[in-house]
Amino acid sequence: MGKHIVVGSGQVGTHLATKLLAQGHDVTVVTRSGGGPDGAVKVAADVADQARLIEISKGADVLYNCVNPQYHRWLTDWPPMAASFLAAAEATGAVLTMVGNLYPYGPVTGPMTEDLPLASTTPKVRVRTKMWTDALAAHRAGRIRVTEVRGSDYFGPGATDQSYLGERFLPALKAGKTISLTWPADIPHSWTYLPDVADALIVAGGDERAWGRPWHVPSNAPMTFREIGERMAALLGRPAPKMRTLPWPLVQAVGLVSPMIRELKHTRYQFVAPYELDSSAFQRTFGVAPTPMDEALKATLGA
């Protein structure tokens, strides 16, 4: 069994650490507060402190970057943390396994594959792009080993209130109330199940075939908000839920007082046109399929 350092204990890091522990690995979870699942070594540390992260990561086989600063803080929070991860990976030899996302591709037409250019010009997204390109350059120079795992919008047990299928969606559905949506109800969209993200990270960190390139998390075929709501309701034995989409000017008005809502303008393109993640490369290379959608939705519902 190996030694694994999981930095971040949010919706991805918690699933990842729990799965690694279940496999019998030695797991250290690093957060500002020192939290993490039972069975893990829990360390309170500032991830931007390079010397501290290097010390924590000594002897590790894999170092996972599962940190997720709030979107409006990416410009300030990411650069020092990214530098710290690179320094720790280089100093210790641990495989740096990064949680990425699809934002750097920007608006695209057709299914997204890993060979698309990172074309987004949004300043905050360019920070994420630089994180990957800097890490890849270090890999190609032989200084580190790195891979990045990218998923679409997350859902599943433990999803935060930022999940569009989480606290914004489930309570109304379970109560039989009208679901208020930020985005149109009938646009196909790819969704990525949180336990599948954790599984993909474990595979990518431990298989040298994954190193030196990004991968898309195995994800099911796109579904609309309405299709997901109807399927969830059917699993609960209830009628299809009613849905309403909030007018975009109203969302913009709320953004005047909410930093998170204000940032939605940068990702609106993902929800007003079909948004499809192609994960066939990971599935074909590693023989890993996404969790069947009904199984994932049942777990999300707690059913």
pLDDT at 144 over 80: yes
Band the pLDDT of 84: cuts 50, 70, 90: very high
Band the pLDDT of 167: cuts 50, 70, 90: confident
Chain segment 90-107, per-residue pLDDT in tens: 999 999 999 999 999 999
pLDDT at 182 over 80: yes
- Map residue 225 onto helix, strand or coil: helix
Looking at every residue in the chain, the average pLDDT score rounds to: 94
CATH number of the domain located at residue range(s) 3-154+192-218 in this protein? 3.40.50.720
183-192, 220-229, 252-261, 267-276: the lowest-pLDDT one: 252-261
**Cβ contact 255:265 at 8 Å:** yes
Chain segment 57-75, per-residue pLDDT in tens: 999 999 999 998 888 889 9
Length of the chain: 303
- The torsion defined by the Cα of 116, 121, 124 and 127, in degrees rounded to 10, comes to 60
Chain segment 2-31, per-residue pLDDT in tens: 999 999 999 999 999 999 999 999 999 999
pLDDT of residue 250: 77
Chain segment 149-159, per-residue pLDDT in tens: 999 999 999 88
**How far from 56 is each of 33, 108, 165, CA to CA, in Å?**
15, 40, 35
pLDDT of residue 267: 83
Band the pLDDT of 258: cuts 50, 70, 90: confident
- Map residue 149 onto helix, strand or coil: strand
pLDDT of residue 303: 59
Phi then psi dihedrals of residue 50, to 5 deg:
-60, -45
Band the pLDDT of 261: cuts 50, 70, 90: confident
Residue 168 identity: R
3-state secondary structure labels for all residues of 25-46: CEEEEEECCCCCCCCCEEEECC
Average pLDDT value for residue range 106-133: 95
Band the pLDDT of 251: cuts 50, 70, 90: confident
Q: How far, in whole angstroms, is CA 177 from its chain's centroid? A: 29
